[in-house]
Structure 1
Amino acid sequence: MKNMRHVLGVTLLWVAAVTVAQPPVYLDDTKPVEDRVEDALSRMTLEEKVALCHAQSKFSSPGVPRLGLPENWMTDGPHGIRSELLWDEWSPAGWTNDSCMAFPALTCLAATWNPDMALRYGRALGEEARYRNKNVLLGPGVNIYRTPLNGRNFEYMGEDPYLASELAVPYIQGVQSCGVAACVKHFALNNQEKDRHYVDVELSDRALYEIYLPAFQAAVQRGKVWSIMGSFNRYQGQYCCHNQRLLNDILRGEWGFDGVVISDWGAVHNTLEAAYNGLDLEFGSLTDGMEFSVDNAYDDYYLSRRFLELLKSGSIPESVVDGKVRNILRLMFRTTMNRNRPYGSFKNRAHGEVARQIAEEGIVLLQNRDNVLPIQLEKIRKILVVGENAIKMMTVGGGSSSLKAWYEVSPLEGLRARIGDVAEVVYARGYASPDPPKSVMYTIPSLQTDRSADDLLAEAVALAREADYVIFVGGLNKNGHQDCEGGDRKSYSLPYDQDRLIEALAEVNPRTVVVLVSGNSVAMPWADRVGAIVEGWYCGSEAGNALAAVLTGDVNPSGKLPFTMCERLEDYHAHALNDSLVYPGVNHREVYKDDIFVGYRWSDKQKKDRRPLFCFGHGLSYTTFEYGKAVLDRKQMTAADSLRVRVSVKNTGSRAGAEVVQLYVSDLKSSLPRPIKELKGFSKVMLQPGESREVEFVLDRTSLSYFDDAKHAWVAEPGHFEVLIGASAEDIRSRAGFELKP
């Protein structure tokens, strides 16, 4: 008994000691994050610090188990949560519970011109990532649409830096509200896939700051994004994942970024540059970023063993790794170490509703001759649906954005579900693409056919003669050298001889509607021969339902183009110069001689015979809108003032609809060449028939400024300006002038 009392007494003393001891600050989430970061950092060995700076698997990096610090788990986006891969390989892990909701591609989100939709998109995506216990979502992508040949344009938000900024910020806020870090990408100048691993981009500082950086800056300073991904390409001779100018001088120095810089997979090339030039977390070395890799190579990464050796020898001071670890710890405390982060949800029907609404708002009605659309259901008996894209899965393929979708409603399925009770819906293939090469990352169901192109065309044309409507669903797909990571398109034309098929269909049926499924502009030599043209994007799980709702008029289309659609490839500035140095580069060197004149900024300067086929901001409706005069609250302002612009909009048609009111600013005379006009505001308003609403915009000096290379500063130059209010970049409804005083 005496011995028992002694043991019990020792135990009680030990418990008492534990009870009164203070927990580590890094575990106490009532303490400021920076205190927690410093406390955790002070407890780590050099080996533990270095381990945090590189991957341990294809999509995770280690924590510090000894200190209770968790691993970081990344997931590809930006359109859905990628299925699980094997630890050390690109092959699927074979899980049965990792099928996600597929959301519309970001080109479609941009076409909504609706920040509220971007917020809902980000929140739904964040909830799915959180449920799967991912703490970094690799998205959104905000690289600028410079050429329609870029295979990855479908993942981005168009050609205009202001539009991309206004939609990226709420997307990021939505994701991060779920305790998941958004990772804006690809920083920077990743505007093509051809030669993406090596091309060295040269451009003026003015083009860099006015066109290619604003969306990233907005993500950092307004969206407060917690992580950012570098790009494969080079800038000023250095790879962008360890680039002194981009990462140290601009990102952290000028913008004050306090998050984590993550490499793109396989985009790190040098230990010393990676150590000193702003990179925090290395992924995918000894890989091409998509398929090829070396197993169990993590100790050979540039920020792994060789980094540790240089630190131990004193060749690199420990303060360098401490800076990286602080950023990584900050990420942990904002995500996995935040006990108040919500739990999230997965494969949620509410997420399907979000996906459908984004798709419905993003689909763009480009042309509608003789009011062919909406389909008059009471007057039809038979509809013919033609085209491989009416049945082809579009949630798979395309590279790292490929998804294992919970479900995907095809255009044919959506039309049959909506129309099948009132009319016969028949299908003809019309054309066929070859099955893409097999990939270790995804499997695309085979649509292989032995029928000849002539046979497929003849069948479709014969059926078209008897149909009340022909709905042709074509465009591009996620095969290599189309809308696909790793390579650019090889032609501006539609692939698989679709032009010939469309022309043949239009010749026998005037009610031919062309639906383009794509993330890029294409040539449309048949545009004046078809009744209607619809840009249907890659709309994810609810693609077919959303398309059917727009075509039948259940939803009034309100999408507007986030990029210019030109008649010819040569009408884009990067191609107008007919200079390989401008695109795609010569000997891994590329010079952006198109400078600030990208998209509508270039189209505005062209003669009438070179106007776009469909301009930036264009999109039709099944109703009509009347604009009032733009009214300014002052005729003069200084750089310290703000200017309010008001304009009334009225729905003058017979059905409810939404209109995107666009505000452009024109500097009537400036010291440096400027675009004729630039987007500086927009507002999407829903109006009932006969309803009017006043829309207000606020302009300040940033709305009037250009970037002066010589001064390395934004300059609002005194002089006369004009506000232009329009329904698109070319459909200007009202103008008003004012003066900026010194």
Structure 2
Amino acid sequence: MTRAAETDFPTADSLSATDQARLTSGRDFWTTESAGGLPSIMLTDGPHGLRKQEGAADHLGLSGSVPATCFPPAVGLAQTWNPALAERIGAAVGAEARAAEVSVVLGPGVNLKRSPLGGRNFEYFSEDPYLAGVLGTAWVRGIQAQGVGASLKHFAANNQETDRMRVSSDIDERTLHELYLRAFRRIVRDGQPWTVMCAYNKINGVYAAQNRELLTTILREEWGFEGLVVSDWGAVADRVASLAAGLDLTMPSPGTASDDAVAAAVADGTLDPAALAASAGRVIDLVARTAAGRQNPPAIADLDAHHALAREAAEQAIVLLRNDDDLLPLSDESESVAVIGYFAEDLRYQGGGSSHVNATRVEAPLDELCSFVPGELLFAQGYTVDGSGDAEELRSSAVFQAGQADSVVLFLGLGERQESEGFDRADLELPADQLALAEAVVAANPNTVVVLSHGGALRLAPLTAPAVLDCGLLGQAGGSAIAATLFGKVNPSGRLAETLPVRLADTPAYLSFPGEHGHVVYGEGIHVGYRWYDARDLDVEFPFGHGLSYTEFEYRDLVVTTSDDGLTVELTVTNLGPYDGREVVQVYVGVDGSAVARAPRELKGFASVDLGVGRSQQICLTVARDDLAYWDTRVHGFVVEGGTYRVEVGASSRDIRLTDTVGVDGDELSIPFTLDSTIGELMATPAGAQALGDLAGQMFGDAAGGDALGVDLGALLGSIPIGRLADFSGGAFPRAVIEQLVDQANSATDSRRTASDSSSGVSAE
């Protein structure tokens, strides 16, 4: 597909190899090269807000950036479980990007949270590919509707910061496709991002930037990606090899010597000239696409409206983890409230590193609480995040204030010294001084609410406070969202997008993260996140999807039906409690007795519903048939297994309210029998059983139907490859006879399939 003809821009074929090479690398840190009349465009960091550097870009792209709205980063946005909200935020970021003459924003990040220790987890949505894919698709649609391109990242298996530019993510085929590529696949197919950013790391020993199977076979040929592949900044180790693999744009600029080397590779036959021309053409297409976007009405960056949107997102992102004895919401008649903690004054609202946004304004919870506390508001800092100050004195002052108040709001969390891009965390702990403070404050005043700000999962077992709000990272409007939630002006409705474990040793990747000697083995396979805890029946502190409310919701009247397109799930939800509220209904699917390893349940659908007190609403969710499929390594593709599917609907992965079962027809597989096929595999199919006939009886006589020597001979024979019968038969069944038997089984299978397809009106493939 080319859009160059729609403009006065050149086509790739009209350019020399030298100019084509120039177009496939950056001009500087943030802009593309211009050649042959093609203008340069700017790419900048994102995605929770625009990070456009002021003035000339420095060598590392780390200098100050222009003011922009800081929305909740992915860790916070994911806790809303609200795709419509994600799309609106994408549109707002797109409007600010257009106003700043930025053509592509680098996001969203949709890599899975394989380990809770991942230093960049705050930039990623979830441990679940379905949730990450749905939210990522919505964000992409929002920004690209503004005429600004998204850059889906980091493709693929970029799940740690340790040795991130060299490490090989060693993943088996099924796990790679079923878990780590699945969110990317959904977003490419449903959202068609204008660009995809390849990751730094290797996948099974091959750099992502040089991985032709990843960038061409899977991304373009199988998924139908139409856009441009750009490198992560500095990810290209061999530019010629990367171009050959399907990477189009190397960023930042590697210099003119690199361009000359690419042109020389074309001249000497090392690089196919068609590969270079194709990449240059995709750069031209991207520039043309962004030029068309700028022809739309001028973007208006309404920063007041965007701040209000950031507040709405923050309100929906807050998760009420615990609320013993209904301590929350706090009373409007409280005579005094003690607010304690450094983060009450200086809220941690975004992550550290390349996505750091220069917020247009930032709300401090302490300031916002002043308008909610009806009586006296007391404050104590309690701790520092940089190790300065006298910890005992700070703690003593905070405990004194706690003892004087009716209730306490204690702000705890992680600062950028504990988590940031560039390094992985060593543990899941809150800082020791904060834990000591929390213990002392709760002892002084049991009516203590803990408010948590952090980008990665925490071990919360040491916290004994009766009420806990998990805020993740809320963006620049987090202060007012927290205050309104504490006092019941907002009913919390956020849900965890990752499991909070009891201890680090329980986590799926505990024994293999972050790897060693340049390799990290994904030994947990498909059991990532809640899949792991459920499969092993492990206790967790708070499960995936968990979140309480100030009201109560009833689920009833579940009806599940099947069609060729998948499942339709219908139910009714009623608000039985005293507050208006939003409920996030979650649909999980499991297959008991599956022929392959599976998690007990997997998220396959969700919906949020706003309900006033006493109101009911019928909800209808569709689970696409494609989402029921697992990756079958025999056919190297997704397959829907036939059988009985268990459909569970609930308020979290471990708060299942309704369950039903439904039969699903499986996909017809064409897996030819070979001499390596076992007797059991042949006997499991009508065609194979017919072809085998009474062969076992001829070989083993009466023993074939019973036990011999204390073993189940049938089970023993079932595991033997059919080709080995020539050895076991003592020559009675030559190899040629067995080969003929296998051919008969394959012919019978093909005949049955053709007859079945013909009777159903489906053409056989």
Select which of 306, 326, 329 maps to 1:351. Answer: 306
Instruction: Report the CA distance shift for 1:87/1:105 in structure 2 as closer, same or farther (over 3 A).
Output: closer
Paired with 1:703 and 1:325, the residues of 2 have a C-alpha distance of 35
Q: What is the SS of the residue equivalent to 1:400? A: coil
- Structure showing greater radius of gyration is 2
For 1:383, the equivalent position in structure 2 comes to 337
Q: Distance in 2 between the 1:569 and 1:167 partners?
A: 27
Q: 1:113: which partner in 2?
A: 81
- Map of 1:687 onto structure 2: 611
Q: Quote how far apart the aligned CAs of 1:300 are.
A: 4.1
How do residues 570-719 of structure 1 correspond to structure 2 at under 5 angstroms? Answer: 570-575=505-510, 579=511, 582-607=512-537, 610-633=538-561, 640-719=564-643
Change (3 A) 1:599 1:94: closer
C-alpha contact 2:347 2:365 (8 A) present in aligned 1:
no
Quote the offset at 1:470 in angstroms: 1.2
Which sections of structure 1, spanning at least 5 residues, go unmatched? 1-25, 286-296, 435-447
Deviation readout 1:103-138 (Å, 9 max, x if unpaired): 111111111111110111100011111111110100
Distance 2:7 2:525 in 1: 45
Partner of 1:47: 18
3-state SS in 2 of match to 1:541: coil
Query: Contact conserved, 2:62 with 2:354, CA < 8 A, in 1?
Result: no
In structure 1, give the amino acid aligned to 2:539.
R
Superimposed CA distance per residue, residues 310-336 of structure 1 (whole angstroms, 9 cap, x where no aligned partner): 223443232121110111111112112
Q: What CA distance in whole angstroms lies between the structure 1 residues aligned with 2:446 and 2:348?
A: 29
Which moved further from structure 2: 369-378 or 693-702?
693-702
Secondary structure in structure 1 of the residue aligned to 2:95: helix
Shift of residue 78, structure 1, vs aligned partner: 1.1
Determine helix, strand or coil for the equivalent of 1:658.
strand
Q: Distance in 2 between matches of 1:90 and 1:269?
A: 17
Aligned to 1:552: 487
Matches within 5 A, 1:13-28: none
* 8 Å CA contact 1:178, 1:342 repeated in 2: no
1:181-260 to 2 correspondences below 5 Å: 181-260=149-228
String of CA shifts for 1:166-195, please: whole Å, max 9, x gaps: 111110000001111000110000111111
Who is 1:445 aligned against?
none
* Partner deviation per Cα, 1:197-231 (whole Å, 9 max, x = no partner): 11111111111111111111111110111001111
Q: CA deviation at 1:467?
A: 1.2
Count of aligned pairs: 665
**Alignment correspondent of 1:361:** 316
SS in 2 for 1:472: strand
Report whether the alignment pairs 1:431 with 2:383: yes
- Name the aligned partner's letter for residue 701 of structure 1: R
Name which of structure 1's ranges 306-315 and 253-262 shifts more when overlaid on structure 2.
Answer: 306-315
From 404, 407, 427, the equivalent of 1:469 is: 407
**Cα distance in 1 for residues equivalent to 2:300 and 2:51:** 15
Shift of 1:276: 0.5
- Note closer, same or farther for the CA distance 1:161–1:734 as it changes in structure 2 (3 Å cut): same
Q: How far off is 1:256 after superposition?
A: 1.6
Contact 1:100–1:347 (CA under 8 A) maintained in structure 2: no
After superposition, where does 1:101-500 map in structure 2 within 5 Å? 101-284=69-252, 298-301=255-258, 304-346=259-301, 348-378=303-333, 380-392=334-346, 394=348, 398-416=352-370, 418-419=371-372, 422-434=374-386, 449=388, 451-479=389-417, 482-500=418-436
Indicate conservation of the 8 Å contact 1:57/1:88, yes or no. Answer: no
Show CA shifts across 1:496-541 (max 9, x none): 52111111111111111111101211112333x2121111121111
2:25·2:249 contact (CA, 8 Å) conserved in 1? yes
Residue identity matched to 1:514? V
1:87 to 51, 57, 64: 57
Partner AA of 1:52 in structure 2: L
CA contact (8 A) 1:153 1:483 kept: no
The residue type equivalent to 2:636 in the other structure is H
Q: TM-score, normalised by structure 1?
A: 0.86
Residues 347/392 of structure 1: CA separation in 2 closer, same or farther (3 Å cut): farther
On the 8 A contact 2:493/2:582 being kept in 1, the answer is: yes
Alignment check: 8 A CA contact 2:98 2:294 kept: no
Q: Equivalent residue for 1:22? A: none
Query: Residues 603 and 162 of structure 1: is their aligned pair in 2 closer, same or farther, counting only changes over 3 Å?
Result: same
Identify if the C-alpha distance between structure 1 residues 283 and 34 changes in structure 2 by more than 3 Å, giving closer, same or farther: same
TM-score, reference length from structure 2: 0.84
User: Secondary structure of the residue that 1:62 maps to in structure 2?
Assistant: coil
Q: CA deviation at 1:710?
A: 1.9
Residue 665 of structure 1 contacts residue 703 of structure 1 at CA under 8 Å; is this kept in 2?
A: no
Paired residue secondary structure (1:179): coil
1:9 alignment partner in structure 2: none
Which one of the candidate residues 497, 501, 504 is aligned to 1:569? 504
Q: Give 1:511's match in structure 2, choosing from 438, 443, 447.
A: 447
Task: Rate the CA distance shift 1:317–1:149 in 2: closer, same or farther, 3 A.
Answer: same
What SS class does the counterpart of residue 540 from structure 2 fall into?
Answer: coil
Maintained 8 Å contact 2:11/2:281: no
Kept in 2, the 8 Å contact 1:101–1:347? The answer is no
For residues 91 and 703 of structure 1, the distance between their equivalents in structure 2, rounded to whole angstroms, comes to: 40
Counterpart CA distance in 1 for 2:289 and 2:3 is 11
Distance 1:311 1:661, change over 3 A: same
CA RMSD of aligned residues (A): 2.0
